[in-house]
A and B are shown apart, each in its own frame.
Chain A
Amino acid sequence: MNSKIIGRIGIYAFLAVSTAFFLIPVYIMVTTSLKGMPEIREGNIFALPLDPNFSAWFKAWSSACIGMACDGIRGGFGNSLKIMVPSVILSVALSSLNGYALALWNVRRAELMLGLLMAGAFIPYQVLLYPLVIMTRTLGIYGTLPGIIAIHVLFGLPVLTLIFRNFYASLPTEIMKAARVDGAGFMQIYWRIMLPMSPSILVVAVILQVTGIWNDYLLGLIFAGRDNLPMTAQLNNLVNSTFGEKEYNVNMAATILTAATPLLVYLASGRYFVRGITSGAVKG
């Protein structure tokens, strides 16, 4: 009995430390963003704000200076949305169709395709940056919105296709046979039978893509072009500017604002996320 209690204590101690590891930085970010600069200069970063207010947040959103422009990071927010929404829709749609085809139809050289997809999913994308720059430039989409969207879709496809393929491969094959005997074709089966069975895995894919694309910095910086810089790139420009005083409260607020979107998506659908992962893995 005693050893059990000690074990419990150990578990909770470990959990508390792990939680603190992630929560302390969040705590510092939130408190600092609510302080004024004089208070921050005193250096008590763990102290609660004496006079909490959101002025730094408003400044970060709409009037902080990034380079010459003093419009805050709201422009970046819009850019990120413009990049993310079509990228997520396109990559999820294409990869679910891909996964369905690979899992349930006799695709010639499907094994080879899967092998290539695995490779595609695990090659670090930095390796491909230079060739991709050349390719997009040749196609005339370098530094444009369609360019960055195409890049995100391409990088999303391998992993998402694998996820969808595994999900569809776990469904009972007889459903597929029944639909074929019923006379349905490739798209009819996909649209009317398979897609209605996949909401959980769709949620998983959407969350993965929203998080990945929103948090992306490097691809956005390289391929989006000056007018479409995503929020992450603008955040970096704001935080790393060497001009004038470092406004830690504004920086913290801008960071929280940037991280808020994937966080909200996750909080709203985390339940489905967990359910989707397990149902894809074990359910028949």
Chain B
Amino acid sequence: MSELNIVNLSKRFDNTAVFENINLSVREKEFLVLLGPSGCGKSTLLNIIAGLESPTSGRIEIDGKDVIGLEPKDRGLSMVFQSYALYPTMTVRGNMSFGLQVAGLKRSEIERKVEKAATMLHLTELLDRKPSQLSGGQRQRAAIGRALVRDVSLFLFDEPLSNLDAKLRSQMRGEIRRLHDTLGVTSIYVTHDQVEAMTMASSIVVLKGGVIQQHAEPQTLYDEPENLFVAGFIGASPMNILKGRIAIEAGRPVAACTGFQVDLSRYRFKAPPVAGQEIALGVRPENVCFGEAGGTSNTGVMARIDYVEPLGADTLVWTKVGDEAMSLRVDPREARLDRQTVPLHFDLDRLSVFSRETERRL
């Protein structure tokens, strides 16, 4: 319901820059996830959007209106916090009503809105309990309820699920996403958990050291990471990286690695490849298979099986190619641990090629 533009935003504490010249647009009804390791500046960015901290320079526009200098309440947003931050002396009802009371709404209207939000979040039974009488998941739902009762056009989430256990977390992921689909409120969600980002986002911004690494839809981010950091950060088991060089053989680009070659003729280079350039070849574990493939796609990779990690649905087999680690995601029935040296081949349509010098995608 609202559009957000961040223009040349910088934040410095004393002389250390948290981030500099961030530019970012969030479209209407988007569910944008800010993803990054701790200390990358994502929470600071969220606090600045909320108006809880002020930037050193730059603009933030909500629906075309510059909101820098406005109090949080005047920005038309609400926020869910990692520690839930419920008011401990108030009941769930009190927590949810507080913002509305402060805004001076009529008692009957507050009652109606709280009931509606409570129904949506299955909180009706819990309305008269204090936060200390709730479980972690219930507290988080109450915190979301508090954000929900106010008619806002922007939701901010600051790692709301990281205090929950794994099962509850995946359940709440679904609930938050469903709420977003129902209400259609533009949301910005901060997390360091790439699974949360992949499952919930309509687009993801990867941040590292205060710099936006990539802003893309989840699948694009996974398939075509813009640089080595994103390649390693996204994916439950990271992308395999092999060192090599570009060579041109019979007019076709190949990646020449120690002991084998990979055909790159189906890879979409952004610029024509240059022979001799040092590259890092990225292959997802699920794009590696046992055995030799026929024809030109045979890469001639020989790997020694090291150990296996059964994950249930599939199994991760760790091997050594030369002295570089390489993992394969295979069907559990295919998994083997015989410490043999076996041939592997790659799905040549799903490769990533990075410059080793700039660490960027070629």
Supposing A174-B82, A188-B102 touch, asked if A180 and B71 sit within 8 A by C-beta, the answer is yes
A sample of 22 cross-chain residue pairs with beta-carbon separation below 8 angstroms, ordered by A number, consists of: A174-B81, A175-B86, A175-B88, A177-B79, A177-B81, A178-B85, A178-B87, A179-B98, A180-B51, A181-B78, A181-B79, A182-B78, A182-B102, A182-B146, A184-B99, A184-B102, A192-B98, A193-B89, A196-B89, A196-B90, A197-B88, A197-B89
Q: Is B72 part of the contact surface with A, judged by Cβ < 8 Å?
A: yes
Give chain A residues whose Cβ lies under 8 Å from the Cβ of B72.
180-181, 183
Chain B minimum-CB-distance residue to A176: B85
Which residues of chain A have C-beta atoms less than 8 A from B84's C-beta? 174
Q: Taking CB as reference atom, which chain A residue is nearest B50?
A: A181
Q: Is the CB of B87 within 8 A of A181?
A: no
Main secondary structure of the interface of A (DSSP, over half): helix
For A181-195 the 0/1 string (1 means CB < 8 A from B) is 111110010001100
CB neighbors of B among A219-275 (8 A): none
Q: Do A182 and B98 touch (CB < 8 A)?
A: yes
A172 at interface (Cβ–Cβ under 8 A)? Answer: yes
Residues of A within 8 A of B120 (CB): none
Residue of B nearest to A199 (CB): B89
Of A180, A183, A184, A192, most B-chain CB atoms within 10 Å? A183
Chain A to chain B: the 8 pairs with minimum beta-carbon distance, closest first: A183-B73, A182-B99, A174-B85, A196-B89, A178-B85, A174-B81, A181-B72, A181-B79
Complexed CA–CA distance, A184 and B72 (Å): 10
Name the prevailing secondary structure of the B interface residues: loop
| Interface residue? B176 (CB, 8 A) | no
Give the shortest distance, in Å, between B329 (CB) and chain A (any CB): 39
By a beta-carbon cutoff of 8 Å, the part of chain B in contact with chain A is 47, 50-52, 71-73, 77-79, 81-90, 98-99, 102-103, 146, 150
State how many angstroms separate the Cβ of B209 from the closest Cβ of chain A.
24
With CB as the reference atom, state the residue of chain B lying closest to A182.
B99
Known: A180-B72, A181-B77. A175 touches B87 (CB 8 A): yes
A172 neighbours in B (Cβ, 8 Å): 83, 85
With a CB–CB cut-off of 8 A, which chain B residues contact A179? 87, 98
Known pairs A179-B87, A180-B51, A182-B146. 20 more at Cβ < 8 A?
A174-B84, A175-B85, A175-B87, A175-B88, A177-B52, A177-B81, A178-B86, A178-B87, A181-B52, A181-B77, A181-B78, A181-B79, A182-B98, A182-B99, A183-B71, A183-B73, A183-B99, A183-B103, A184-B99, A185-B102
Which of chain A's residues has its CB closest to B104's CB? Answer: A183
A113 → chain B closest CB, angstroms: 20
The distance in angstroms between the C-alpha atoms of A214 and B77, with both chains bound, is 51
**Given that A182-B99, A183-B103 are contacting pairs, would A177 and B89 also be in contact in the complex, using a CB cutoff of 8 Å?**
no
A193 close to B81 (CB less than 8 A): no
User: B residues within 8 A CB of A178?
Assistant: 79, 81, 85-87, 146
Q: Are A181 and B89 in contact (CB under 8 A)?
A: no
Within the assembled complex, what's the spacing in Å between the Cα atoms of A192 and B101? 11
Q: In the complex, what residues of B have CB within 8 A of residue A177's CB? A: 47, 50, 52, 79, 81, 85
Q: Which of A143-176 contact B (CB under 8 A)?
A: 172, 174-175
From A174, A183, A196, B102 is in contact (CB under 8 Å) with A183
Instruction: Report the Cα distance A188→B73, complex, angstroms.
Output: 13
Task: Mark out the residues of chain A between 191 and 208 whose CB falls within 8 Å of any chain B CB in the assembled complex.
Answer: 192-193, 196-197
Q: Nearest Cβ distance between residue B6 and chain A, in whole angstroms?
A: 18
Residues of A within 8 A of B52 (CB): 177, 180-181
CA distance A188 to B90 in the complex (A): 14
Q: How many angstroms from the CA of A16 to the CA of B255 in the assembled complex?
A: 86
B142 to chain A, nearest CB (A): 12
| Residue from the set B79, B103, B150 with the largest chain A CB neighbour count within 10 Å | B79
Q: Give the chain A neighbours of B78 by CB distance below 8 A.
A: 181-182
- Complexed CA–CA distance, A181 and B52 (Å): 8
CA distance A188 to B79 in the complex (A): 19
- Whether A174 contacts B83 in the complex (CB less than 8 A), given A181-B50, A184-B102, A188-B102, comes out as yes
Residues of A close to B99: CB separation below 8 A: 181-184
B15 to chain A, nearest CB (A): 18
Are B98's CB and A184's CB within 8 A?
A: yes
Q: Do A181 and B73 contact each other (CB < 8 Å), given the known contacts A193-B87, A193-B89, A197-B88?
A: yes
Give the shortest distance, in Å, between A16 (CB) and chain B (any CB). 42
Q: State the CA gap A179–B79 with chains docked (Å).
A: 10
**Minimum distance in angstroms from A167 CB to a CB of chain B:** 14
Assembled-state Cα–Cα distance A134/B344 (Å): 94
Question: Which residues of the other chain, B, contact A184 by a CB distance below 8 angstroms?
Answer: 73, 98-99, 102
Max chain A Cβ within 10 angstroms of own Cβ: one of B81, B82, B146: B81
Closest to A198 in B: B89
Shortest CB distance B247–A (Å):
55
Residues of A within 8 A of B103 (CB): 183
> Which residues does chain B contribute within 8 Å of A182, judged by CB atoms?
73, 78, 98-99, 102, 146, 150
A183 to B151, CA, bound (A): 13
